[in-house]
Structures are given as structure tokens and as C-alpha cells.
Structure 1
Amino acid sequence: MIEKYNQQIFQSELISRDLSWLHFNHRVLDQSEKEGRSIVDKLKFLAITSSNADEFFMIRVGSLYNYLDYGKERIDYCGLRSIPFKMKLLGDYQAFAALQNKIFTEKLKPEFAQNGFLVQGLEELEKREKDKVTHYFEKIVFPMLTPMVYDSYHTFPILVNNVLIFGVVTKSLDNKDKKKMSFIQIPQNLPRFYELDRKGKTIFVPIEEIIREHLGDLFKNVKIVSSTLFRVTRNGDFTLEESEDDEANFIEEVKKKLKTRKTGRVVRLEIESDHDKWLLRQLMSKYDISPENVIKIPMEALMDYTGLWQMVGHEDLRHLLPDRQAPVPPISMSEYEDQNMFKILKDRDILLHHPYNTIDPLLDLLDQAAEDPNVLSIKLTIYRLAKNSRVVNALLNAAENGKHVSVLFEVKARFDEENNLKEAQKLQKAGCFVIYGVGSLKTHTKLLLIVRRERDKVTRFVHMSSGNYNEDTSKLYTDISLLSSDEGYANDVQEFFNVITGHSVPDKYTYLLTAPRDMRDKLIDLIKNEEENAKQGLPSGVVIKMNSLQDKDTIMAMYSASQAGVPIKLIVRGICSIRPGRAGLSENIEVRSIVGDYLEHSRIYYFHNNGKPLVYSGSADMMVRSFERRLESLFLINDQLLKQQAINILAYNLKDNVNTYVLNEDGSFTPYQPEDQKRFNIHKEFYKVKREIVMNAKLF
């Protein structure tokens, strides 16, 4: 049956979004086996794959169950209907989870001892170490644990999403009573591992093994038949109903929907391989799940690899993490050092390429705007924030100094909803004008507008970005952003803010492509222009770097252009639904994915335009959600130096031969293995870029 599914999938012109995501997580997992990475760096990537999988089940598999549970039919891009697709998807994930566990147990654990740390159960500890663990359990852990019995007198408890839980089966000592099952949720505010020092070597003892050893303290005068560790993942996919009600009701609706994540239907059950079979049958019945939803974890492995972040962030192991190179100055701002940002931006535009360039010029601009008596207003969109955000602090300072501050806070930013609500209310209390999203649309665009009075006129300063206003992720994600005082940009950004915050329908934008207004149509027009040029024998070409490609209309436009002879080169980090290299369909389309030290988050769209390139960047991927359900923007890069800088970023991405994977026609990815080429690792080479390299960059 699976072979039949695979054949049907291959025949489709499009690749499944969700199956493509699984291939992406395989590429991330591949980093945990890469030669040259330290053991802690490898553990980091294993933890990332586990976190990715949690979100995937909560949102993507949860979305699938929104169809299955209500008897709705859905045909996936690969051509499979809902039930066959579920079987294929969960079957492939089973194989992925097995590979995760194999890598951890057979490849990573054996490296622990030689790197100065161990993961050990209680049976491997020395007596004095066991005494410390017992003291920790009695004084800290035991008072926090609450057994919850399920029997004819007690209802089945609502077990928390994505936490470790013990299912304990008990009987009376005389064996007269029926078996009962109880549940103990391991508190989320306890460390995943208890740490011991053994002659300079750190010993990590899993919290579940400590509790398992002392279960008798919780179940006295009864017989413990079995104890089984498990973890449930619930459907976290929800939509907010568009409402004409007031802001307070909208916020309450968000809070109410967030609570549903704690009680949503179970879509995955992870359980120890040495589990109690009776307990598993009870859980599967209660949660209405099939064997495909059950992931069995070997006893020698670890359940929930996100717990490895405790090791990755451990002070004693920090020396095992790769050194991060200090940021270099932007190409157009080589002399930057605590200068007046207003003066610099009136002289020239600046393109920041993170993390190779620091985010400080933007943060300094905000700080200076907050203090400058001539600044009249600041408008900003916020999607995700750093902890202890300098952005928020600058806005609070600006409000206290009497400036008009308008902030569009996207409270529907997935898994950041609660933090965004809290930060937004803090700004509102300080006197900022805060807007909590725009109806059913998610505001994903990243825009800043500062209005400053200068003698008898005002000058507007803008910032437009592919990434969030988040100084933490700017050190880990590759993004690009543009700072400018150009009137064309300023008019467009101000007009877009009027659309977001008011009731405006602009005639046109000079430099922006916006969604849901016309971004898809404009991008298709740009692709068609390349197709027409190719048909007329003129030079043509498309190069696009993005996070995800899933929109069918733009994919079909690229297929048509490919058939006309347009060379199309795509750099897609994650989901990719286009099928390259198929005869008669996409011979001229190449797709590669870059996965390495940094998360590739920047979006750059290049169109050859008969030798007069058009280059855009911004917040949007080629996704249905980006074009139809989000407020997005792409900005045209006008300045010749900065345009060349963006072209060079694309050229370097195409030149990379260390972090690159190539998409095959069947939807699989193969590591790029060049012959006799010198290693070219963009995550190192971008620190060395000079102006002369940028000015000579070419794509075709």
C-alpha cells in the first residue's frame, strides 16, 4: 500500500507541503552527524529537530485532524486524500523518530564521556551521589508531585501538552481489586536533569529516573504493577473568528483560544518501548488514536530531546560550542560607531545583513529617536520580540518623552501570543497607541517609520526588514533589512500604515509589493516578464531565496517560464512544493536548501529584467498564507551598491558547497558534493565580504 502511495505522490506535479517539511527536519537532523561539529553543537541540532516536531504535530498534524475529526475531505498537493495521507505522513514520521533515537544512542551518547559529561541513571551513581539525589527528591521534587487516579470514582484527568508524564498501574496488596491507573505529571519548572559534579565531570541525571526510583513514596501500601513514561502532543491549530466587537473582546478571544491548546485532541503519543500494554490500550482508547500516532521511545534513548537545551546552555560545556565571529560593519557604513543615525541616513541608505552585521544601527536609531526632541512620531509593527527587548524599552522611553508612538502588535504570532499580549499592554499603559492585529489577517510585515521635524520641514526615516524586531534572533538568523530616508520609501510605508491602522485603499505603491492586496499578482507578472524575454531571445533569469515555497499559482508561473527557457534558481530553506528537473515541466528549475550554523531567514527576489535587475526583499514567502491571510510587504532595493549587495548574497548562496542540499525530482534532498572545489561556507565567507566583491557580483 505504501508503495502505491509513493507512486501516486511521485506522479503529482507538486510536492506535499507536510512531506517536504519532514525532509527539512531530516536536513536539520543531519547537522547532528556532521563531522567537525562539537558534541554540544550536535546536541543543539537534535534539540531543534524535537522542538520542530512538536510544533509540526500541534499545527500541521493538528490541522489535518481538523478535517479528519469532522468528516471533511482534503486532497493534499501530492494527490492523496486525508486518510491515506495521514498514514503516509505518520509512517514517515515514525521512521524519522527512529533515526533521531538511533543517532542519540549510537552516535552522540558514546561521545559524552570524552567531552567531560555523562547522562546516567541512578543505578550508575556512587553512594554519595545517590544520597544527594534522594535529598533533592525529598526536599524539592516530592512536594511538587500530585498523583491523579483514574477509576470509577475519578474522571480521566486532562494531561498537559508536551510534558513528561508517568502512567502508574497499581493493585491492592491482596490483589483483590482491579488494576487502577494513576498519572503523575513532571512539573515543567523542574530542570530536565539533576546535575552532579564527579571530579570535574558533570553528571546529568534525568528527572524521570529520579521520580521512577521513588514512586513508592507516592503509592504507599499498594502494589505498583508498572510505571510507564509518556508524553502527549495536542492539536494546537486554531483560528480566530473575525469580529466587529471591541478590542477587549478580541483579546479575551485570544486568551480563550490559547486555553484550547491545553485541552485539544491528542495527535501524538510518545511512550517508552518497555511500556505497560494495558495502560497503552487505555490511553489509545481515551485519546482515539491509532498505532501510527504512537511513537515508541527505546529505553536507552531520551524522551523529548528539547531537554538537551540544558546541556547546550550549561556553563561547563560552553567551551564546546562554536565560537561566533564578531559582526563586521555594513558595506555602506564602514565607519559606524555610535554616530548620529539621522545624519547618516540623510546621506545614504544602509543594508544590514544579519548576523554578519549587528542590529545596533537600528536599535541606536530607535534610542536616538526616543530622546531626540525633534522626533514627532514613531510607528512600528511587531511580530516577535526578544526578552528584555531594547525595542520595547525605546518605545516606552519615546512615549514618556511625549512622542506619538503607534505600535501594531500581532497577538496571533504563533506561540508568542501570551508574551505579545503582555508587552502590548505594557506599551498601552505607557501611552502608546496599540493595535492588536487587523481582523482575521496576521500582520507579518516588518516596518518602522520615524517622523522628525527639521527646521521648516519634516524628514521621515524608514526601516524595512525580512526579520523580526528581535535583537536575540538577529544573532542567530540570517536576515536583511534596509534603513533609508528616501521619500519614495517613506510615502509607501506611511501609506501602508494608513491601510493597517485606518481605512485606506491606496492607488499604488512606488516601491512596495503588499499582501493581501496584489503581491501574488505582481510576482507572477515579474515571472511572466522573464518568460516573455526568453521567448523573444532576450536574456532572462529568476533567483529567489526564501523560507518556504507552497503557493500553487506562483509555482505554475515558474513551470511555464521554465518551459520557455528561463533559468530559475531557488534557495528554499524549508517547505518546497515545486518539483524541479521534470522533463517537459521544469527542466530549467534548480532548487537547493541551505542548513547550517545560522537559520536562513532572509527573503530576496531577483528578476533579470533584460539586464536591468529588479531585486526585492521583505517579510513574505511564496505561501498561500502569505498572499491571502497576512499583511506582508516586499520592498524594491533601489540603491545600486545595496542592490549589488543583495545580488552578492544570492551569488554566495549559490556558491556554498558546505551547507547545501539539492532537491531531487522525487522530493528528496541530497547533500551537495562538488568535485574538486575549494570549501565555500557562506556562514564564514559573509564575514569577509568587501565592496569590490559586491560590485562584481553576478548571477547570470
Structure 2
Amino acid sequence: MTLGTDRLPQSDVVDLKEPQYYFNRELSWLQFNDRVLHEALDDRTPLLERLKFSAIFSANLDEFFMVRVSGLLEQVRVQVATKTPDGLSPAKQMEAIRSHLRPKLRQQQELFEKCLRPKLAEHGVILKSYGDLGPEQQSYLQRYFEAQIFPVLTPLSVDPAHPFPRLSNLSLNLAVAVTDPETGIQKFARVKVPGSLPRFLGLPEHLHPEGEHSWVWVGVTLEEVIAHNLHYLFPGMTLQGHYLFRITRDADFPVREDEADDLLLAIQEEISKRRLEGSVCRLEIQTAMPEDLRQGLTQELGVAEEDIYELEGLLNLKDLFFFLSLPLPDLKDEPWKPVVPPRLKPFFDQEESDSIFKIIRQGDVMMHHPYESFGASVQTFIEQAAQDKHVLTIKMTLYRTSGDSPIVDALIAAAENGKQVVALVELKARFDERNNIIWARKLEDAGVHVVYGVVGLKTHTKTALVVRQERDRICRYVHIGTGNYNPKTSNLYTDLGLLSCREDLGADLTDLFNFLTGYSRQIAYRKLLVAPLTLRKGMVALIHREIAQAQAGRPARILAKMNSLVDGEMIRLLYEASQVGVEVKLIIRGICCLRPGLPGVSDRIQVISIIGRYLEHARIFAFHNDGDEEYYIGSADWMPRNLDRRVEAVTPVEDPALVQELKTLLDIMLSDNRQAWDLRADGTYTQRRPGPDEAERNTHVLMMERTRHRDQGGTIDGIAQRHTFERSGDPNG
């Protein structure tokens, strides 16, 4: 699928706002998800990891429908005709989304049924069909149904006395057709497959098939067990058929913050509505569902025919995550244990409570998760601050954190130790609202000053400030990162963080927290670029500086790594930079609305995407600056929401050794020939492959190897040199 036309300007005057210079945001996201699915299709990926990527593909789609598709459908409903920068109306975008998705969903289903499922069986993991089970196995499952499943089920009939039930979002259901033998009237009922029970039910070992194979797991799906025991739910009725279906509701809700007396209560009310009240934006059904049932569901749910997705086989392949729990290490990625960042190792060899602060005073510390441990760096920093008798104040922003967060526990301990603790808990972090409300209340109960952010903005910045009394002066220690304070995702997402006691950064964070918690109108910062105040104009100025360097005949280069590039102003600036000779290299994991490789417009712009074992989440921005290079890391992508509607913080990295680390990381990523995809001018992505005599260069493998060598005291120069490559316009100069 191409995301734009091949039409090019026919005159010397180029209007960079023309639609042909932009890819559609939604279609670009779908292509990102296609690259995720490709990891499941790629037989170089370990088998259970292939199941994981298929599950991620489905989980991603759920959120895409709940947020993006639901919004487009609402625009179509009220006849919004406004076009996106690429020239598509909401209706045209929906047509393109449906057209793109149907073959991809068939491909995913066929992959599981015809490839992954048989391969699992080869390794002793058999997902059986209920009808293929022997009498003893069926008898066991019947007893299990009676004892464990039947008491949980609630069949809901649909007739004049029983209106169509309110179906919960993302619920898996059985549509059951029954006939009353006395009247001959056919009736319809709905049975929800309970999410509180395991989706995949394993048989006990003594009921595994006989043979030479050392079986690991043999079982069936929960819905099949329910379906073959429906007579318990409808005694005296004649069962005509049963068919799976699943619904997706609009889960994006606006909160009128300026009208809410209590933001926490307002969001709680909206969360309760999300599960049952959002309009249905997708109906997934089994292909075998008869037309009368299909039409009945369509009418009752208010779903358009074009928003019904017929699927063969299992629905909700997100549940394939289950198989990663099986004891088959040879079918998974080799485990990785994050190491202690080298600069922080002395702390773990000392007993003085202030040794981590001594280390930070010696110079900035940069961590790269998950290669380096979140627990031995960021978490330890906060925990030590909570216990240190000289620490007076801790201030943090919490966007998303885990359900058993040691960070939150440390903040509570700090408050109990008499320190002033301020936590900005972002209640509007989508799909984490409920979790964040729980933490906000727990923190408040412990005496922490909890604030919910700034009206009209989401607080997305990842920052912490520790104020410490040291002899006759106050010293401020900071953490500024690219990822959430979440120990669980820190093992899955690649993120960077900076620990520093530089006075300018400490003063900037003091001003930032005053902006977040009070009525400060701070509009200038010493070092930080802060959205929505200074980040956009700061990045614009940095790009303009490279443009001026190129116009003066000097080398000019920009290298940016981010999750998504959507903002029209930033894209046009990059086009202008390319036109005057600036070399631009972009590493963008997800959405990219910029169209590279157009002669005379973007032919000096290269875009790659890295998709692999870890989710690339770190944001890095590098500018050549006539040889005096500047590097930045932070929480913001180049999207309108990050630049204009969120609180974000981007910090310069100034220590030469840390700058070299960022250079090496970017060099490794740009040379990747295993996980990297090149974006072409027509909108397609092409995965790189090693040449016949070329070694495989996998970013995540190389970073683990490099980190391991350094942790063991070995040299890392050889690794870096082994994977350097020749390319024009090296942004490292």
C-alpha cells in the first residue's frame, strides 16, 4: 500500500503544504503495526516470540479502534469534511483503513492456524479442538465446567421481556440460537466468555496423548468448553448453533476540566462509562455466523456493515501472550539481565547513605534501559532520597507506573520520614486513569502533596527533583528521562535518563514544578526545552541554525530519533533544510507523515524504523552546529500534541563521554541490517537484509553485547568499530 501519490511539482515554486508531500497519519500507523506483524511472520524470530508479536499486533489494533477509528467514525457521522494534510476526508480515511486491514487480519489468522499452531505442536504444545478430544478428556472438561465455569456464567436472552444486553468493551461473547420445542420459535441469547477465567485451559498430564513426545501443554479454549456445555445453560431448549463475536467501543472520552469541581471524580465517572456506553466502532464475528444473527447484532449494536470484520479461527489473538508463560526457553529470546550503570557501581560497593549523591556530583550519569538497570539507577536514586536524612524535598511527575510501584512506595516512605514530597499524577494518561487514581489516593493518604497537572494539558514529562541540604548550601539533584517511572516497562522499552546535579538543570526543574503545581507563568528556561512553552520554538531555532549553516556553504546535519513525526511545521522545516543541503536522518519507530526521497524536496532525508525485541522509546535530537555538536534527550515526539498540548521536557546532554555514547547508539541503529526498515518515497517500507558476505547487525543484540562487555570490564571499542559503516552525511561529523 502506498500512502501518497507519486506526483511531483512541475515548477520551481514548491508549496510544501500540498497534500502530496504528506503521508496519512492513520495509514502510517497501520504500516507500523504491519511491521510488528512481520516479526510474527519472520521465521528468524523464536517461535514463542512470534506468538508475542501477533498478540501485540492485536492489542495495538484494539487501542487504534478505541481511540483513532472511533474518532473518525464520529466525524463521518456528523459529516465533517475537513481534510488531513495529505488530502483525505474522514470518510476516505475510513475506506482506506478498512481496505488495508482486512487482508492483514486474514494473514494473521492464517499465520496462526497454518503455521504457528502446527509448529507449537511440534514442540509439545497442542491447542486442541474440542471435537478432537477423547472421551476421558471431554469428561474431565465437563466436570471442570460444572465446578469452575458454570457458576460464573450468566446467559442473557433477547426477547420483548429482555432487551438486548449492554455488552462490555472488548468482550468475547457467544451468540446462541435456540428453539423452544413447544412453540417452535427460535430465540437468541448471549453468553459472555468470562475474562476472569483463563482463556486457554490445560489438561492434566495424565490426560496428555500417549507417545514418545515429552508433552509440555495440551488444552483447549475456554469458549469451546462453554460452547460444548451450553445444554447446562438452556435446559429443555434445542440448541441450533453458537457463534463467537467481539465488540470494540469508543474509549476516548473528553473531560471538561474547566467545568469539573473535582477532576479525580470527573474522570472516575467517565471511566465507568467507557466500558459499557461508548459507541461500537468494530464488530468481529466468526465467518460461519448465519445472516439473521448477523443482522440482529448489527441492528442492536448500531454497527455499519463495513465495520464488521469476519474472521476464521480464534478471535482476540491478543490472548496469545499466554504461551510465553510456558517453560520453553529455547523458543524465546535469550533472557537479558540489566546491569548496573558503570558510573553507579561504586555506590553498591559502599555503605555511606550519600554515596549515590557523591557519584552524581562527580559528573552527569546517563542510563540506557533495559540494557542498564532501572532498579539500580532511577529507582535507587528515589529510594535513597527517601531515606537520606539530608534530603528535604522530592518532586516527581508520574504519567504511567506499575501496579506494585517501588517508586510510589519510596515517595510514601519519604513523606513518612518527614520530607516534603510532591507528586504530579497525570489522571488523563489514557487507559491508565484507574491505576493513577488509585496511586493518587494512596499518596494523598500518606501525606504526599498530590496535584493533577495543568488544566488543558497532559503532563507527559519524565522528571524528578531532589533537594538536599549539604553543609551550608542547598544542592538540587535531577532525573530527566524519556520513559515512564515504571519498573515493568523499563525491561521492555528502550529509554534514556540523565542524573545530574548541574545547577542550571536544578533551577529549571524548580521552575517547571512551580509551573505545574502553582500559578507560575514561567516562559524562559536556562537549559531545558519545555512544551508547550519553549520546545517548539527551540527546535525550530535549532533547525533554522542548520539551514543557515548549509546556506553559508558549511556542513549541516540533523539526526532525530523519536516515536512519531506528525507535526506539519516540523516536517516543512525538514523539507526546507533538505532543499538547501542539510543532511537529515530520522529514526522513527511508528508514524511518519514526512515523505522522504522526493527530488528537490526531501532527497537528503532518510527515514528508518527499528522494530524488534524491545520497543524503541527513547527520543534523541542531534544537530551538527558547525562541528560543535548539540545532543538532546527528552519525552517529546514531533507531534502537535507533544509540542502544543502536553507538558514535556527535553534536556541537552553536554558531557563529552555521554555524547559519545549517544553517537555510538545512533550509529549502531543507522547501520542495522536486521531490524531496520527503510521508508521509501511511495510510502512503502523495505526491511534491510544482510548481504551475502555481510554480518548481521541487530541493534538490540549489539547493545546487549556491548553492555555485557563493558559490565565485565572488557573493551567496547572493538564492538563499536566492528559495526561502523560508510554513509554520506554522517551526522556525527
Q: TM-score range by the shorter chain?
A: over 0.9
For 2:242 and 2:523, the matched residues in 1 are separated by 66
CA 1:369 to 1:644, structure 2 compared with 1: closer, same or farther past 3 Å? same
**Residue 74 (str. 1) matches residue 91 (str. 2):** no
Partner amino acid, structure 2, of 1:357: E
Which secondary structure does the structure 2 equivalent of 1:58 belong to? helix
* Contact kept? 1:593, 1:662, Cα under 8 Å: yes
Which secondary structure does the structure 1 equivalent of 2:219 belong to? strand
CA 1:3 to 1:53, structure 2 compared with 1: closer, same or farther past 3 Å? closer
Residue-by-residue CA offset, 1:84-113 (whole Å, 9 max, x unaligned): 221111121112211111111122111011
Which among 334, 341, 348 is matched to residue 323 of structure 1?
Answer: 334
**Residue 188 (str. 1) matches residue 204 (str. 2):** no
Give, in angstroms, the shift of residue 636 of structure 1.
0.7
Which secondary structure does the structure 1 equivalent of 2:542 belong to? helix
Aligned residue runs from structure 1 range 586-665, under 5 A: 586-665=602-681
Partner amino acid, structure 2, of 1:239: P
For 1:418 and 1:288, the matched residues in 2 are separated by 28
CA 1:366 to 1:279, structure 2 compared with 1: closer, same or farther past 3 Å? same
Give, in angstroms, the shift of residue 654 of structure 1.
0.6
Which secondary structure does the structure 1 equivalent of 2:525 belong to? coil
* Contact kept? 1:355, 1:475, Cα under 8 Å: yes
Partner amino acid, structure 1, of 2:698: N
Residue 243 of structure 2 corresponds to 228
Partner amino acid, structure 2, of 1:254: I
- Segment of structure 1 superposing worse, 479-488 or 57-66: 57-66
Residue-by-residue CA offset, 1:439-466 (whole Å, 9 max, x unaligned): 1211100000001111111111100000
Residue-by-residue CA offset, 1:499-518 (whole Å, 9 max, x unaligned): 11111122521211111112
Residue-by-residue CA offset, 1:276-306 (whole Å, 9 max, x unaligned): 21111111122332332111111xx211011
CA 1:640 to 1:431, structure 2 compared with 1: closer, same or farther past 3 Å? same
Give, in angstroms, the shift of residue 171 of structure 1.
2.3
For 2:178 and 2:534, the matched residues in 1 are separated by 63
* Contact kept? 1:476, 1:598, Cα under 8 Å: yes
**Residue 305 (str. 1) matches residue 313 (str. 2):** no
Partner amino acid, structure 2, of 1:384: R
* Contact kept? 2:4, 2:86, Cα under 8 Å: no
Aligned residue runs from structure 1 range 50-199, under 5 A: 50-177=58-185, 179-196=186-203, 197=205, 198=208
Partner amino acid, structure 2, of 1:288: G
For 1:592 and 1:239, the matched residues in 2 are separated by 34
* Contact kept? 1:120, 1:205, Cα under 8 Å: yes
Residue 212 of structure 2 corresponds to none
Residue 270 of structure 2 corresponds to 257
- Segment of structure 1 superposing worse, 61-70 or 111-120: 61-70
Residue 491 of structure 2 corresponds to 475
Which secondary structure does the structure 2 equivalent of 1:243 belong to? helix
Which 5+ residue runs of structure 2 have no aligned equivalent?
9-17, 210-214, 725-730
**Residue 484 (str. 1) matches residue 500 (str. 2):** yes
* Contact kept? 1:551, 1:624, Cα under 8 Å: yes
For 1:624 and 1:399, the matched residues in 2 are separated by 37
For 2:575 and 2:701, the matched residues in 1 are separated by 34
Which among 414, 417, 421 is matched to residue 398 of structure 1?
Answer: 414
Residue 266 of structure 1 corresponds to 280
Which secondary structure does the structure 2 equivalent of 1:539 belong to? coil
Residue 451 of structure 1 corresponds to 467
For 2:496 and 2:259, the matched residues in 1 are separated by 36
Aligned residue runs from structure 1 range 387-536, under 5 A: 387-536=403-552
Which secondary structure does the structure 2 equivalent of 1:431 belong to? coil
Partner amino acid, structure 2, of 1:633: A
Partner amino acid, structure 2, of 1:232: I
Which among 356, 368, 374 is matched to residue 371 of structure 2?
Answer: 356
Give TM-score, length-normalised by structure 2.
0.91
Residue-by-residue CA offset, 1:221-248 (whole Å, 9 max, x unaligned): 22222211000001111121122654xx
CA 1:180 to 1:59, structure 2 compared with 1: closer, same or farther past 3 Å? same
Residue 601 of structure 2 corresponds to 585
Give TM-score, length-normalised by structure 1.
0.95
For 1:244 and 1:120, the matched residues in 2 are separated by 54
Give, in angstroms, the shift of residue 130 of structure 1.
1.3
**Residue 572 (str. 1) matches residue 588 (str. 2):** yes
For 1:12 and 1:507, the matched residues in 2 are separated by 36
Residue-by-residue CA offset, 1:317-341 (whole Å, 9 max, x unaligned): 3553222233344354464525521
Residue-by-residue CA offset, 1:611-630 (whole Å, 9 max, x unaligned): 01111111000011101111
Which secondary structure does the structure 2 equivalent of 1:191 belong to? coil
Residue 50 of structure 2 corresponds to 42
For 2:201 and 2:44, the matched residues in 1 are separated by 29
**Residue 240 (str. 1) matches residue 240 (str. 2):** no
Which secondary structure does the structure 2 equivalent of 1:560 belong to? helix
Partner amino acid, structure 1, of 2:516: I
Give, in angstroms, the shift of residue 477 of structure 1.
0.7
CA 1:212 to 1:692, structure 2 compared with 1: closer, same or farther past 3 Å? closer
RMSD: 2.1
CA 1:520 to 1:41, structure 2 compared with 1: closer, same or farther past 3 Å? same
Residue 220 of structure 2 corresponds to 205
- Segment of structure 1 superposing worse, 219-228 or 449-458: 219-228
Partner amino acid, structure 2, of 1:261: R
Residue-by-residue CA offset, 1:556-576 (whole Å, 9 max, x unaligned): 000110111111000000111
CA 1:227 to 1:245, structure 2 compared with 1: closer, same or farther past 3 Å? closer
Which secondary structure does the structure 1 equivalent of 2:239 belong to? strand
- Aligned pair count reads 693
Partner amino acid, structure 2, of 1:699: N
* Contact kept? 1:327, 1:355, Cα under 8 Å: yes
Residue 291 of structure 1 corresponds to 305
For 2:104 and 2:6, the matched residues in 1 are separated by 20
- Segment of structure 1 superposing worse, 452-461 or 336-345: 336-345
For 2:609 and 2:457, the matched residues in 1 are separated by 29
For 1:228 and 1:469, the matched residues in 2 are separated by 43
Which among 678, 703, 713 is matched to residue 686 of structure 1?
Answer: 703
* Contact kept? 2:523, 2:533, Cα under 8 Å: no
For 1:695 and 1:50, the matched residues in 2 are separated by 36
* Contact kept? 2:83, 2:90, Cα under 8 Å: yes
Give, in angstroms, the shift of residue 312 of structure 1.
1.3
* Contact kept? 2:394, 2:422, Cα under 8 Å: yes
Partner amino acid, structure 2, of 1:279: L
CA 1:673 to 1:283, structure 2 compared with 1: closer, same or farther past 3 Å? same
Percent identity among equivalent residues? Answer: 37
Partner amino acid, structure 1, of 2:291: K
Which secondary structure does the structure 1 equivalent of 2:570 belong to? helix
* Contact kept? 1:346, 1:485, Cα under 8 Å: yes
Partner amino acid, structure 2, of 1:595: I
* Contact kept? 1:377, 1:451, Cα under 8 Å: yes
For 1:345 and 1:245, the matched residues in 2 are separated by 42
CA 1:286 to 1:77, structure 2 compared with 1: closer, same or farther past 3 Å? farther
* Contact kept? 2:65, 2:281, Cα under 8 Å: yes
